[in-house]
């Protein structure tokens, strides 16, 4: 039992947890912004610290729980890309792991329904379904990136709607603009992860963008696509789709995020293959998590600053605990 638990936790790859955790916190921060802004208020009630803790715990763990599903569905390519992963080696029994994941998802659903807000269950279920769809969509070029980004946008929606009652709808320009940025940042993040999986994805017939266009064209795309989040943000501001006032903290964190995004593109341009390709993942994950923390700065600059720092430090710390590129 102890070995099973250890293998399960390793398979969760908790350095990824900041992706869903910070994205979900964005939803909580936005909900509190509505609750405390007379001009935006539509019946929101600021959640208690206990409720926020439960929401964020569920969001931080949701990636790892869903990761078990990914490993189960992706065993074929993982036998080439990551032969040391517990589910591939047999250390983690696939059926046992899926059973535990199902139980944990059921518990999460019950907590959402009985303790948080029942409507948030929609986004929990949608996230799980999109995660399953992603495993098949990743084999069809950019479709995988689109589905992955859409899957992560369920995290801020869950965080927001789980925080308390609201009469507000998703279809508001400034809300849509933030979700578009989360979608693009995460779609771009998963594109960079495809470089390390090139051989296994190609052998398994998974036509990711990197497999479809090849290493040489993809490394150029790595540089060019690093500017996409910045271009999208500027477009949203210029067209008036996002008009929320910006503060100094946000602008400083935005500058650091842009640097991380561009540096990620440079790293994959310089090292599209080999051991350094795997090592570049830590910068990729930092750029994604810190980018989402920066968006929180629009609504709560103090929390955003701390989350940016914590994300940068602990993504690297947790990643170093998984230093084996074959796992």
Cα dihedral across residues 323, 149, 35, 236: positive or negative: positive
In this predicted structure, the answer to whether residue 215 has a pLDDT above a threshold of 60 is yes
When pLDDT is cut at 50, 70 and 90, the band that residue 206 belongs to is confident
pLDDT at 9: 83
Query: What are 7's strand-pairing partners?
Result: none
**Which stretch of 6-20, 164-178, 188-202, 259-273 has the lowest confidence by average pLDDT?**
164-178
Model pTM score:
0.91
**Contact indicator for 72, 98 with CB cutoff of 8 Å:** yes
Query: What are 207's strand-pairing partners?
Result: 140
pLDDT at 172: 65
Predicted confidence (pLDDT) per residue in 31-55, tens digit: 998 888 876 667 788 899 999 999 9
**Measured CA angle at 282 (ends 280, 287), to 5 deg:** 100
Predicted confidence (pLDDT) per residue in 88-103, tens digit: 888 888 888 899 899 9
Q: What percent of the chain has pLDDT over 90?
A: 58
Neighbours of 154 (CB within 10 A): 27
In this predicted structure, the answer to whether residue 170 has a pLDDT above a threshold of 90 is no
In this predicted structure, the answer to whether residue 257 has a pLDDT above a threshold of 90 is yes
Per-residue 3-state assignment (H helix, E strand, C coil) for the chain: CHHHHHHHHHHHCHHHHHHHHHHHHHHHHHHHHHHCCCCCCCCCCCCCHHHHHHHHHHHHHHHHHHHHHHHHHCHHHHHHHCCCCHHHHCCCCHHHHHHHHHHHHHHHHHHHHHCCCHHHHHHHHHHHHHHHHHHHHCCECHHHHHHHHHHHHHHHHHHHHHCCCCCCCCCCHHHHHHHHHHHHHHHHHHHHHCCCCHHHHHHCCCECHHHHHHHHHHHHHHHHHCCHHHHHHHHHHHCCCCCCCCCHHHHHHHHHHHHHHHHHHHHHHHCCCCHHHHHCHHHHHHHHHHHHHHHHCCCCHHHHHHHHHHHHHHHHHHHHCCCCCCC
């Amino acid at each position: 039992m102890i070995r099973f638990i250890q293998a399960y936790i390793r398979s969760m790859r908790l350095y990824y947890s900041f992706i869903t955790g910070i994205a979900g916190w964005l939803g909580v921060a936005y909900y509190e912004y509505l609750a405390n802004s007379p001009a935006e208020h539509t019946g929101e009630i600021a959640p208690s610290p206990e409720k926020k803790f439960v929401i964020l715990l569920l969001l931080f763990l949701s990636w790892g729980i869903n990761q078990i599903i990914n490993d189960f569905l992706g065993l074929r390519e993982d036998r080439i890309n990551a032969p040391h992963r517990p589910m591939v080696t047999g250390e983690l029994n696939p059926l046992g792991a899926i059973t535990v994941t199902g139980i944990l998802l059921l518990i999460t659903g019950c907590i959402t329904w009985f303790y948080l807000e029942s409507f948030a269950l929609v986004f929990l279920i949608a996230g799980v379904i999109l995660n399953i769809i992603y495993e098949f969509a990743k084999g069809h070029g950019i479709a995988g990136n689109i589905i992955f980004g859409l899957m992560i946008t369920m995290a801020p929606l869950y965080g927001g709607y789980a925080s308390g009652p609201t009469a507000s709808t998703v279809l508001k320009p400034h809300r849509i603009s933030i979700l578009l940025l989360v979608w693009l940042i995460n779609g771009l993040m998963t594109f960079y992860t495809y470089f390390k999986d090139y051989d296994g994805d190609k052998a398994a017939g998974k036509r990711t963008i990197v497999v479809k266009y090849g290493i040489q064209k993809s490394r150029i795309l790595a540089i060019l696509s690093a500017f996409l989040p910045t271009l999208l943000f500027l477009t949203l501001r210029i067209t008036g789709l996002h008009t929320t006032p910006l503060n100094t903290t946000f602008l400083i964190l935005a500058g650091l995020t842009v640097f991380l995004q561009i540096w990620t593109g440079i790293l994959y341009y310089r090292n599209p293959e080999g051991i350094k390709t795997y090592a570049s993942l830590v910068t990729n994950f930092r750029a994604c998590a810190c980018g989402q923390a920066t968006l929180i700065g629009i609504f709560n600059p103090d929390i955003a600053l701390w989350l940016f720092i914590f994300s940068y430090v602990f993504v690297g710390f947790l990643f170093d605990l998984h230093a084996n590129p074959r796992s």
